[in-house]
Structure 1
Amino acid sequence: MTGKFKHRPGALKQSNKAHKTGRHRSKGAINLAAKGKTNVKEVTRHTKKEMSKEVRRNQCQQLRKKKRDEVIALKRNFGSSLAPPILITVIPLHQDISTQSIMSMLTEADEAAAVISNNQGVTHISIPRFKQRYSIIVPPIGNTFATLDAVKVSSTILFAMSPMDLSHISSQHNLIDSWGEEIIEACISQGLPSTVVALTNLKSVNIKKHHELKQVSQSLINKWLPEEKILSLNSAADALNLLRKVGSQKQRKVAFRDKRPYLLAEDVEYCSGENKVGTLKISGYLRGVPLSVNSIIHMPGLGDFQLSQIDASSDPYPITNSDSSKGINVDEQIRILEKADPQKQESLESENIPDPMDAEQTWPTDEEIAAADAERLRKKTVKLVPKGTSEYQAAWIVDDNNELSGDDYSDSDEDDDNDDEKMSIAQTQSDIENSDKEDMDDNEEYETLTVSEAPNDDNRYDDQMDIYEELESMKKLKDAKLDAHFPDEIDTPQDISARIRFQKYRGLESFRTSPWDPQENLPYDYSRIFQFENFDRTRKRVFKESEDIEGAMPGWYITLHVKNVSEEHFKAFKKLEDAPLILIGLLANEHKMSLLNVLLKRKHDIDAQPIKSKERLIFQCGFRRFSACPVFSEHTNGSKHKYARFFQPNDTVVASMYAPITFPPCRVMCYKKQNYGIMELVASGHVLSVDPNRLVIKRVVLSGHPFKVNKRSAVIRFMFFNREDILWFKSVQLHTKYGRRGHIREPLGTHGHMKCVFDGQLKSQDTILMNLYKRVFPKWTYEPYLLTSE
């Protein structure tokens, strides 16, 4: 028998007797413990055996046919009268490309096409021969956020390329400039829908160089879109072929928008009300999932709002070129689809109202602290709790006089020839370490220095230089380089006691396994946020409920009545020329504040500068745009995550900040404001979780040096400078750079010398380290990125 045929057992297959259980439980005992419960897999397997081969084959065919029909129906309805028009966003990759010539070729592609333009800059093209209709928008060139907003709601993106300098056709910068590279990288980071790349302005190039030009363009675009083939757009026939491809190509899914309803404004009308607050009427085609009038909507640049009413009207841009529908009164076609119910409508309250009496822990009074200090002095104990430290914080300090044995630790014989050099560098950089006051006060603020202007002379370059910014950048680079070479190492201050300086820190036997209560010593801001009992289960339930909402359906042309819109914000929006106005329906609880954790990957750039933790950045999280000062931590497994002082180039960190809840999957982009208001994309990633219990632990490392070494015991100096500090940190474990572990035995004298015992022979060139930890919380620095703040 060849390998083509496979033996299958028949109905008369021999079934051997099962093996006896022996000392294990018998079958009767197992059945008694099960109490009649049956395994689901056994039931499914038994049912499948009872079905005949023909029935199973027929069932599989029906399932395949059902899925195939759904895909075919979705593809046939794409851009038809039963679906919204195909929304195309034209993005030139060079600022000198004329978008008017591109639009003229697209509008003149078919003589039988009906072309209508509205006041919002949207051009509608209906082509009867394709039985499809298209909506084309051109966002303003140079406005990154307006272009990204248009991409969020688009079905297809048309990237336009054109040779600007005919003398050097092979130069890639003649096809794509800095604006083109910036916007295409931003679109990819945000999430790309289906794309089309077209090469225009070929008529001005010699026909012999067309092939060379297309090869250069293809090699350049393969850097970002390797599977995209470049089309020509130089005539009406090319434009018709481009529209045919747009209507028939496979649509790429964008996860964060397919789960939410969204709309591009086709018509906008503002009705003024009292107190400079009115109602904004927005009309357009609904896309995505159904939208309920009781849900909350978000408009980038304007904020979160409630709806008062949804109106439905007939399609104003049908697939026809006849003028029969122009005589119909539009007011007669409008009907009220749904009105808001105050009892079912979601509230705009985004923060929890904290109860000052509902506190997990109570802060001791001055009388209680004084009584506790007197009690400790009366008993003559070594432990001294500093002012402001609770008993729970001091409970980790335990008197341990047991000596260490060599079996309790792992032995390592690794040598590092650069340790002496590192020790010298660490000592010479003490002034930089002491200037890092973020350990003393996490809410560090710099004062603005007034720099005298240089007299006008021939050197204009110095007049435009910001000396304060240069000094700050130089200090940041030094601190980042020092942190990379000596992570978390700081010098013990001599002007203040170490037990006061590090009173919020504690020692851990193991960073990975030692317990840490996530509800301990929470800041006041934690009472203002919301937390889920099971975030993943809530996310699945919300996504499932969003598909079963009763209201406006995707593909309908509707009018939304947005209430309580500020007149100031609307006037700021009207000042933006050709900027699209988009509207997104938020899912349940997505307007409430919580602790948002996003995973960021630093952009690869040679000239990239390190980003300090708690530095203000601008985030675009899905449809929402805001600014915050996040806290960086390492992306690792486990319950505790190490705090990162700097976001280094080519690094991956988790940024934690107070922000509105956003259900993943959702793309995140991180911008940093440079000089002269320029926004630079520095990192991109996605939403990791919404978890206030994420433990971000900050570590400081105190270093000391051997003074006298006697086998396993040694006298250590320069780690502390008084006897009380040594007694305070006596129970904290020590380790060395050569892999030894030990603990403090006793202090010697009053100037910081101490006797320590290690698990092996200590080398004279070794460095003794002590790790201290504390939890870090982000500050409430969330600010929505509104149009008035731009």
Structure 2
Amino acid sequence: MGGSRAQVNKAHKTRFSSKSSRNIHKISQKDKNRIAKSSKNVTQGARAARLQRNKMLREQKKAAILKEKRASSGSASPPRVIILFPLSASVNVSSLAEDILRLLSTEVSGAVPSTVASSEYKLRATVLQAPHGDLLSCMEMAKVADLIAFVASATEESTCAFIDSFGSHCLSVFRSLGLPSTVVFIRDLPTEIKRRNDAKKIVISSLTSEFPEDCKFYPADSKDDLHKFMWLFKEQRLTAPHWRNQRPYLMAQKVDLVPDDSSPEKCILLLSGYTRAHSLSVNQLVHVSGAGDFQLSKIEIMKDPIPLNARKDHNAMDSDDIQDVEVIRSLTPDPLSQEPLLVENVPDPLAGEQTWPTEAEMADAERNQKQKRMKKRTLPRGTSEYQAAWIIDDTDEEDSTAEDDDDDDDEDGMVLDEGESGFPSQEVTNNPDFEEDQTSLYLRDSDEETENDSVMMEGENLTREQIEDEIKKIKEAHAEDEEFPDEVDTPLDVPARKRFAKYRGLKSFRTSSWDPKESLPPEYARIFAFDNFARTQKHVIAKALKMEQEGRDDCAPAGSYARLYIKDVPLHVASKLCAAFRTAPVILCGLLQHESKMSVLHFSIKKVDSYDAPIKTKEELIFHVGFRQFVARPIFSTNNINSDKHKVERFLHAGRFSIASIYAPISFPPLPLIVLKGVAGGGTPAIAAVGSLRSVDPDRIILKKIILTGYPQKVSKLKATVRYMFHNPEDVRWFKPVEVWTKCGRRGRVKEPVGTHGSMKCIFNGGLQQHDTVCLSLYKRAYPKWPEHRFPVLNA
């Protein structure tokens, strides 16, 4: 009935039409067991292997965490460093430090040292108080802290000002360095339970956003409060910044110096303390924070002065008794294995020269020189012998040399490589007919250009003062345009081809080629470079890890108490370190291979919001890179992702990241950066910028850009006469191959000079407006400044 157009529904999808057909195709249990895969084949499958591997990784991680926990709480681990940092000036941390030390120490009366051991908590700790207002000391303490305990006072509940400006500033610096484990102690809580809970909630709600999510808040008014915290603290797994776990370091418990008999200006610096993070080899170089890089003459592994299970009368670390601690083992460096203190490369000035000429070559050169002196200039036709006798050879030679120099100036034009310019190559040749009448040059082009003759003649009669006044008026008329900060003025008394001789033109800043090995400065002969920096870093870290795992005899194990003898330390530097030890910790860190050699380091850097003064490029700054400190004079540049060339920035701008390039000792990232700038009058340096180490690459191309500007005098369709970009025709011919552009988006080229005052004819790809500005971009490679002195002494 429906015909060919009748609707046909799709059959229901099923394997079996009925239960009877299902039973027919059903496989018996006996057959299932016969055709099933064996267990052997299952275990060999990819899924089983993946599950087994994941299980093994989980077990390894659990074992590593358990080992780390046992090591951090065992007797072989160094004392935990607890830094008490007041969030405001009204907080008194001295009483809190004394309460914690009394709780951990078994001393009933008398002064309690800063490092104590508690057999009750099975814990050793060093408690330090961060001085409020001293940013440098707080920063040095944060570098070695295992736990930063921020202390807030509940008495500020009425104003909710639990953290002042200095505390907020320090907290931002700590975040840049990398925060270790943190807690917040709340002091001065009310005794009434309801008011106490309300005050605690107010403090927590006000400060929660300032700290990490895992940061805990603890009341710290009574002994019971501290007792609860200590039971939790001893079981806590502490976290540390990644950069701090890459190198061994030591926080000095005692600093002393021994005069060196061989050199009265130098001494041997003695640092005693616990080695941390990794084992320290006597053959590797060390860096003393604020003093520099040195070699070790000896390491003495001593008996632990603060054992965990000590008797009551030996529980305290008395500074007078440290020197008398028993020496267990003495390590001396191996001259064949010790890392040399190599800072700079010693260049050979004759390395690229040819061999010395032979005597025969010297004689031939002298003979040719004499013949050249005796040779006279070709005389004009018709000159008699009498007239030729009046011609002096020296004068002729000087005249010919001057003429040759003039010809060279004309021929050595700035020529772009083929393909770099958007127009045909315009090389300047020596044309003897170039001095022809200027009117004939104008008549070659168009009638409109002939109208410029009277105008140009008027401009050529201006004096130097009048030209300067005219340029000043035009600059003031264009002063509203601040979009091009690279504009420079062409000097009137110096030719532009000499003033900007080191600059060159580029067709495209992104795609044009630039050889990174071309015309390097003399400082590049003193630095070191890597063929593959990433591969070298991987090899160096693997080598340090292998040394750690082997447990060699020349290493002081991590957690041992050692006395380090640092040789060849300047006497005045050691004296300043001894004086600075009273207020800030003296830190020593072991250096990895190559980390004492100078190279070009690049940092990702950002100006802090609290610093308002300008930071100019090549200005002397103090760089804190991890544990290291040094003085550098950086240049700032942009970070172009799609190009191998980067533009110089004259100042470090606020609100965005830039790249700071410096000459400094090699360091392997990741490492945090804190930049300090000195204050006039010798005050405490202020935090100017923060960042991190990005790379070590001397071949990074950083270009300084300048823009020469000119102004249209006469415009005729696509052609224009431009003045005040140059001041003589020779400069126009020199820069003729470089492309010009305008601020309104036109592009063009220089056709020829006009007159004798540097005006020129230009052709553009579109109509030019009279108020437009013609620009010419030039580039040269920029390098950082070599620092005069590299290492500042801490707080000195």
Which range, TM-score by smaller chain?
A: 0.7 to 0.9
1:170 alignment partner in structure 2: 158
Deviations 1:602-646 (A, max 9, x none): 2234x7233211112121111111222211111122211101111
2:540 alignment partner in structure 1: 542
Letter in 1 for 2:410: V
Deviations 1:318-348 (A, max 9, x none): 2225349789999795222421111211222
Range that drifts further, 209-218 or 494-503: 209-218
Q: Which of 129, 151, 166 is matched with 1:160 structurally?
A: 151
5 Å-filtered alignment, 1:119-268, equals 122-128=114-120, 130-163=121-154, 166=155, 169-173=157-161, 175-203=162-190, 208=195, 211-212=198-199, 214-216=201-203, 218-220=205-207, 222-225=209-212, 227-268=214-255
- Give distance in 2, aligned partners of 1:775 and 1:432: 32
**Secondary structure in 2 aligned to 1:681?**
strand
5 Å-filtered alignment, 1:275-294, equals 275-294=264-283
1:728 alignment partner in structure 2: 734
Give, in angstroms, the shift of residue 162 of structure 1: 2.0
Q: Which of 749, 755, 777 is matched with 1:749 structurally?
A: 755
Give, in angstroms, the shift of residue 756 of structure 1: 1.2
**Secondary structure in 2 aligned to 1:109?**
helix
Q: Which of 500, 503, 506 is matched with 1:505 structurally?
A: 503
- Give distance in 1, aligned partners of 2:111 and 2:244: 26
Deviations 1:420-468 (A, max 9, x none): xxxx9995696999xxxxxxxxxxxxxxxxxxxxxxxxxxxxxxxxxxx
The answer to whether residue 684 in structure 2 is matched with residue 672 in structure 1 is no
Conserved? CA contact 1:203–1:234, under 8 Å: no
Give, in angstroms, the shift of residue 190 of structure 1: 1.6
Conserved? CA contact 2:631–2:792, under 8 Å: no
Conserved? CA contact 2:87–2:163, under 8 Å: yes
5 Å-filtered alignment, 1:262-411, equals 262-274=249-261, 275-320=264-309, 322-323=311-312, 333-359=326-352, 376=404, 382-384=410-412, 400-401=425-426
Q: Which of 768, 771, 775 is matched with 1:769 structurally?
A: 775
Conserved? CA contact 1:156–1:246, under 8 Å: no
Letter in 2 for 1:570: A
Conserved? CA contact 2:252–2:271, under 8 Å: yes
Deviations 1:120-156 (A, max 9, x none): x63223243x433222222444332222222212211
- Give distance in 2, aligned partners of 1:260 and 1:283: 18
- Give distance in 2, aligned partners of 1:372 and 1:310: 74
1:760 alignment partner in structure 2: 766
5 Å-filtered alignment, 1:490-501, equals 490-501=488-499
Give, in angstroms, the shift of residue 67 of structure 1: 1.8
Give, in angstroms, the shift of residue 508 of structure 1: 0.8
**Secondary structure in 1 aligned to 2:573?**
helix
Conserved? CA contact 2:186–2:200, under 8 Å: no
Cα distance change, pair 176–789 in 1 and its aligned pair in 2 (3 A):
closer
Letter in 2 for 1:495: D
Cα distance change, pair 783–276 in 1 and its aligned pair in 2 (3 A):
closer
**Secondary structure in 2 aligned to 1:353?**
coil
TM-score (norm 1): 0.76
Cα distance change, pair 184–512 in 1 and its aligned pair in 2 (3 A):
same
1:486 alignment partner in structure 2: 484
**Secondary structure in 1 aligned to 2:225?**
helix
- Give distance in 2, aligned partners of 1:90 and 1:507: 58
Q: Which of 574, 579, 582 is matched with 1:575 structurally?
A: 579
1:592 alignment partner in structure 2: 597
Letter in 1 for 2:86: P
Cα distance change, pair 392–179 in 1 and its aligned pair in 2 (3 A):
same
Structure 2 portions without partners, runs of 5+? 1-12, 14-31, 36-40, 356-368, 373-396, 428-468
Letter in 1 for 2:210: K
Conserved? CA contact 2:94–2:129, under 8 Å: no
- Give distance in 2, aligned partners of 1:483 and 1:536: 44
Cα distance change, pair 113–591 in 1 and its aligned pair in 2 (3 A):
same
TM-score (norm 2): 0.75
- Give distance in 2, aligned partners of 1:137 and 1:491: 58
Give, in angstroms, the shift of residue 770 of structure 1: 0.8
Conserved? CA contact 1:80–1:133, under 8 Å: no
Give, in angstroms, the shift of residue 732 of structure 1: 0.2
1:662 alignment partner in structure 2: 667
Larger Rg: 2
Give, in angstroms, the shift of residue 296 of structure 1: 0.8
Deviations 1:521-542 (A, max 9, x none): 1111111111112111111111
- Give distance in 2, aligned partners of 1:770 and 1:230: 62
- Give distance in 1, aligned partners of 2:470 and 2:144: 54
Conserved? CA contact 2:91–2:153, under 8 Å: yes
Give, in angstroms, the shift of residue 355 of structure 1: 1.1
**Secondary structure in 1 aligned to 2:224?**
helix
1:34 alignment partner in structure 2: none
**Secondary structure in 1 aligned to 2:72?**
coil
Cα distance change, pair 483–560 in 1 and its aligned pair in 2 (3 A):
farther
Cα distance change, pair 575–311 in 1 and its aligned pair in 2 (3 A):
closer
The answer to whether residue 106 in structure 2 is matched with residue 100 in structure 1 is no
Conserved? CA contact 1:78–1:247, under 8 Å: no
Percent identity between matched residues is 35
Conserved? CA contact 1:716–1:756, under 8 Å: yes
5 Å-filtered alignment, 1:506-521, equals 506-521=504-519
Deviations 1:684-729 (A, max 9, x none): 1111111111111000011222222222222222222221111111
1:786 alignment partner in structure 2: 792
**Secondary structure in 1 aligned to 2:157?**
coil
Conserved? CA contact 2:97–2:128, under 8 Å: no
**Secondary structure in 1 aligned to 2:516?**
coil
Conserved? CA contact 1:218–1:230, under 8 Å: no
Cα distance change, pair 581–203 in 1 and its aligned pair in 2 (3 A):
farther
1:446 alignment partner in structure 2: none
Conserved? CA contact 2:663–2:787, under 8 Å: yes
- Give distance in 2, aligned partners of 1:226 and 1:54: 38
- Give distance in 1, aligned partners of 2:636 and 2:471: 24
Letter in 2 for 1:528: R
The answer to whether residue 62 in structure 2 is matched with residue 68 in structure 1 is yes
- Give distance in 1, aligned partners of 2:239 and 2:785: 38
1:28 alignment partner in structure 2: none
Conserved? CA contact 2:77–2:559, under 8 Å: yes
CA RMSD of aligned residues (A): 4.0
Deviations 1:558-617 (A, max 9, x none): 222222333332322232323212211111111111111111012234x72332111121
Letter in 1 for 2:514: W
**Secondary structure in 2 aligned to 1:647?**
coil
